[in-house]
C-alpha cells in the first residue's frame, strides 16, 4: 500500500513540475514582451518629440504650412481639384507674404459674372500657379494689370496651381465658355509637360489624356478618386506642417528622392511607355492637347493665344517650336526684349514677382493690340 501511494504520489507530482516550467516560461515571455513594448514606446515618443521640436524650429525660423497653396483646393471629380469658392486667406512663405481672394465661382481675384459686361471684350486666361498668382497679391497678377491697362476689356483669371493642359481643357469646356470670351490665352510653363503625364499632385489625383498610337486622345482617370488613406494624410501633412514645407522644397526634396513618394512622378502611358517631361511622348502629348484647345475654341469662334515660359528648358522649347510650325500664335516670354529671370522671379522660388507680372502684362498687351486680337 505504501509503495502504491508512493508511486501514485510520484505520478501525480510530475505534472506539477511541468506546469511550473510552463508557468515560468510564460512569465518570462510576458516580461520580454512588456520590455519590448516599453522600448518601442520610448522610441516612438523620442521620434515624436524630435519631430515636434523640428516642427517648432521650422515655424520659428519662418517656414509655414500649406505648401503649394493646396489650402485653397477642394476635391473635384472631373478636374481632381479646383479652388474653393468664396475663400480668403493669407499665403505666406519665407520669400513672401500675400493675401489670396477666391471669388464665388472659384477663381482668383475679383468677381466676374458669366455674362460679359456690356460694351466690353473679354479675355479668359488659363494656366497653373503662374496665372493663379503664386507669391503675389490679387492686384499684382498680370491678369489684373491687363484689365487696368487695356481699355474696355474684362480679364478673367482661370489659373489654378499645378493644373496641367488636360485640366485646363476640361475646365474650359465645362465652364470657361460660360464667360463668353473673345480671346482665350493659355500660359504654358515648362513643368506642364511633366504635369500632363503625372497622375498625383500632393495627394490629389488628376485626369489625364492619353495619346494613342494613332495620335488620338483618350481621357483617363475620371471620375478622379479621392485617394487612399496615405493620399489623404499627405494632403493633411502639406497643409498643416511647416516641416513638410521644408522637406518638399526644391533641392532638398530632390536630394531625398521624395518625388515618387509625395508627388507620384511618372506614369505608364497607354502604349506601355514610361513617360516623363524629358521624352518625346510628353512633348507630343502637350502639342496634341494644345491642338484640342484650338479646336474647341474655334468651334466657339474664339481666338487663341499661347504664352510660353520655358526658362531654357529644351523639351518646352521644342513644344513652342512645334506649335509655331502648326501656325499657333505664341508669345514667348523668354524671348521678349528686356525679360530678366533674375530680376523678375521671386528669390528662392520659380514664380514671377510683381515686376515679372508687370512685364508679362505689358508683353501680352503689346501682342494682342498689335495683332488686333481684341476688336
Strands 267-268 and 274-275 come out as: antiparallel
Give 266-313 as a DSSP string: -EE-TTS-EE-TTSHHHHHHHHHHHHHHHHHHHHTT-EEEEEEE-TT-
* CA-based torsion, 232, 238, 242, 248: positive or negative: positive
d(CA 218, CA 271): 12
Per-residue pLDDT for 349 more than 60? yes
pLDDT of residue 348: 84
Per-residue pLDDT for 5 more than 50? no
Beta bridge partners of 60: none
The grid cell for 235 is 494632403
The residue count of the chain comes to 375
C-beta separation of 82 from 74 below 8 A? yes
Instruction: Tell me the domain boundaries of the chain.
Output: 1-61, 67-370
CATH architecture of 67-370: 3-Layer(aba) Sandwich (3.40)
pLDDT of residue 294: 98
Of all residues in the chain, the percent with pLDDT exceeding 90 is 59
d(CA 371, CA 367): 6
Of all residues in the chain, the percent with pLDDT exceeding 70 is 79
- Give tens-digit pLDDT for 26-72: 667 788 788 888 888 888 888 888 878 877 887 777 665 545 567 79
- Give tens-digit pLDDT for 166-191: 999 999 999 999 999 999 999 999 99
Least confident interval from 15-29, 81-95, 108-122, 321-335: 15-29
d(CA 43, CA 305): 58
Cα radius of gyration (the chain) = 29
pLDDT of residue 314: 92
pLDDT of residue 277: 43
Instruction: State pTM to two decimals.
Output: 0.78
Amino acid at each position: 500500500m505504501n509503495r502504491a501511494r508512493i508511486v501514485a504520489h510520484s505520478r501525480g507530482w510530475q505534472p506539477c513540475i511541468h506546469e511550473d516550467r510552463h508557468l515560468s516560461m510564460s512569465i518570462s515571455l510576458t516580461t520580454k514582451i512588456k520590455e519590448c513594448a516599453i522600448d518601442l514606446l520610448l522610441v516612438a515618443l523620442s521620434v515624436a518629440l524630435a519631430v515636434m521640436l523640428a516642427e517648432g524650429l521650422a515655424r520659428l525660423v519662418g517656414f509655414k504650412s500649406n505648401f503649394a497653396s493646396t489650402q485653397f483646393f477642394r476635391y473635384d471629380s472631373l478636374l481632381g481639384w479646383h479652388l474653393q469658392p468664396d475663400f480668403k486667406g493669407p499665403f505666406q512663405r519665407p520669400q513672401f507674404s500675400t493675401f489670396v481672394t477666391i471669388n464665388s465661382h472659384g477663381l482668383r481675384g475679383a468677381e466676374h459674372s458669366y455674362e460679359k459686361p456690356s460694351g466690353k471684350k473679354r479675355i479668359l486666361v488659363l494656366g497653373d500657379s503662374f496665372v493663379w498668382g503664386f507669391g503675389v497679391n490679387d492686384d499684382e497678377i498680370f491678369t489684373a494689370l491687363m484689365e487696368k491697362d487695356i481699355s474696355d476689356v474684362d480679364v478673367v483669371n482661370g489659373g489654378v496651381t499645378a493644373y496641367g493642359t488636360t485640366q485646363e481643357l476640361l475646365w474650359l469646356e465645362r465652364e470657361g465658355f460660360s464667360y463668353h470670351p473673345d480671346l482665350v490665352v493659355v500660359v504654358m510653363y515648362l513643368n506642364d509637360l511633366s504635369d500632363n503625364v503625372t497622375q498625383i499632385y500632393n495627394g490629389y489625383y488628376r485626369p489625364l489624356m492619353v495619346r494613342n498610337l494613332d495620335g488620338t486622345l483618350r481621357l483617363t482617370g475620371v471620375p478622379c478618386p479621392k485617394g487612399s488613406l496615405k493620399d489623404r494624410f499627405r494632403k493633411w501633412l502639406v497643409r498643416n506642417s511647416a516641416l513638410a514645407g521644408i522637406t518638399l522644397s526644391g533641392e532638398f526634396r530632390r536630394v531625398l528622392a521624395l518625388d515618387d513618394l509625395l508627388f507620384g512622378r511618372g506614369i505608364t502611358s497607354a502604349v506601355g511607355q514610361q513617360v516623363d517631361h524629358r521624352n518625346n511622348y510628353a512633348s507630343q502629348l502637350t502639342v496634341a492637347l494644345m491642338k484640342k484647345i484650338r479646336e474647341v475654341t474655334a468651334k466657339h469662334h474664339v481666338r487663341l493665344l499661347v504664352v510660353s515660359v520655358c526658362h531654357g528648358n529644351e523639351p518646352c522649347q521644342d513644344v513652342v517650336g512645334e506649335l509655331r510650325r502648326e501656325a499657333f500664335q505664341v508669345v514667348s516670354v523668354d524671348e521678349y526684349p528686356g525679360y530678366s529671370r533674375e530680376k523678375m522671379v521671386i528669390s528662392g522660388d520659380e514664380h514671377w514677382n510683381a515686376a515679372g507680372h508687370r512685364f508679362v502684362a505689358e508683353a501680352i498687351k503689346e501682342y494682342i493690340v498689335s495683332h488686333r486680337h481684341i476688336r
